[in-house]
């Protein structure tokens, strides 16, 4: 008889938990709707319809960010930027540009932060920073001990799934 009473108590507690969860459904649905609306205003995917346009967008954003971090390329400049083939090995098409910069420490931090914190989302991978200890300053006739940084990384973003399907569709 005690086992039956224990079983009844357990089932009543379970039923109470389930009823409380059901009562929370409207609140959960409202919060989900708010989060979906917020996410739609802050896109994570690149809106371009094909990898070539997305690559151009990556490069333009890189150029704007570097220019903002160092107006006139006084202390930060793009040494090289090379697009890579889009990767279809992942669920979403990944568009990548290999980047090499020559920057000071503050400018490097500003560039990396601006690239990763913007919208749509862009990511930094394979980051390598080499400190240049000494360099020759043109016009001064001497070496300087204030070295910059040689920064190389992969800048990448992802295309919307339907954008890839539209680009891959036969015409």
* pLDDT by 10s per residue, the chain, length 171: 889 999 999 999 999 999 999 999 999 999 988 887 776 666 788 888 889 999 999 999 999 999 999 888 788 899 999 999 887 777 788 999 999 999 988 999 999 999 999 888 899 999 999 988 755 555 555 555 456 889 999 999 998 775 445 445 444
Indicate the pTM of the whole model: 0.65
User: Quick one: angle between helices 105-117 and 51-69, nearest 10?
Assistant: 140
Domain positions in the chain are 2-41, 51-168
**Residue 132 structure tokens:** 């240049």
Domain 51-168 is in which class?
alpha beta
List CB contacts of 108: < 8 A, sequence separation 6 or more: 76, 101, 129, 149, 151
């Amino acid at each position: 008889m005690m086992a039956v009473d224990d079983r009844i108590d357990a089932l009543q507690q379970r039923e109470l938990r389930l009823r409380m969860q059901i009562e929370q459904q409207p609140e959960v649905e409202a919060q989900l709707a708010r989060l979906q609306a917020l996410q739609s205003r802050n896109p994570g995917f690149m809106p371009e319809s094909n990898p070539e346009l997305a690559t151009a967008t990556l490069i333009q954003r890189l150029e704007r960010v570097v220019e903002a971090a160092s107006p006139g390329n006084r202390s930060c400049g793009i040494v090289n930027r090379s697009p890579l083939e889009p990767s279809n090995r992942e669920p979403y098409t990944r568009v990548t540009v290999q980047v090499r910069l020559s920057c000071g420490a503050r400018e490097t931090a500003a560039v990396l932060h601006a690239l990763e914190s913007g919208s749509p989302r862009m990511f930094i991978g394979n980051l390598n920073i080499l400190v240049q200890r000494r360099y020759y300053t043109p016009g001064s006739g001497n070496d300087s001990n204030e070295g910059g940084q040689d920064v190389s990384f992969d800048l990448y973003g992802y295309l919307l799934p339907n954008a890839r399907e539209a680009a891959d569709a036969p015409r």
